[in-house]
Amino acid sequence: MPLSDDMRDVDLKFECPNCSYPIVRKGSWFIVIAGYICAKCRAKVRIGYQEKLAFFERHRKLRRQ
């Protein structure tokens, strides 16, 4: 299953697994990045492909409610 385009223009919230500091970015940003550096704790947060799939699916379900 590819990362589909339906979340591309949607604002998604992702929390740092280290300190829970949230970031909000468009789906298109999450599709292209492999990770980011947390602005609060400076941890290198890696977001793998499977993680992106699960993350997108979670937001998709939230939007249906």
Measured CA to CA, the distance from residue 14 to residue 56 in angstroms comes to 10
Phi, psi of 15 (to 5 degrees): -100, 135
- Nearest approach, Cβ of 45 to Zn ion (angstroms)? 7
**Whose structure tokens read 């937001």?**
59
Measured CA to CA, the distance from residue 63 to residue 54 in angstroms comes to 14
| Cβ distance to Zn ion smaller for residue 22 or 48 | 22
| Cβ distance to Zn ion smaller for residue 7 or 16 | 16
Residues 10 to 49 in contact with Zn ion, rule: CB under 5 A: 16, 18-19, 21, 38, 40-41, 43
| Cβ distance to Zn ion smaller for residue 21 or 29 | 21
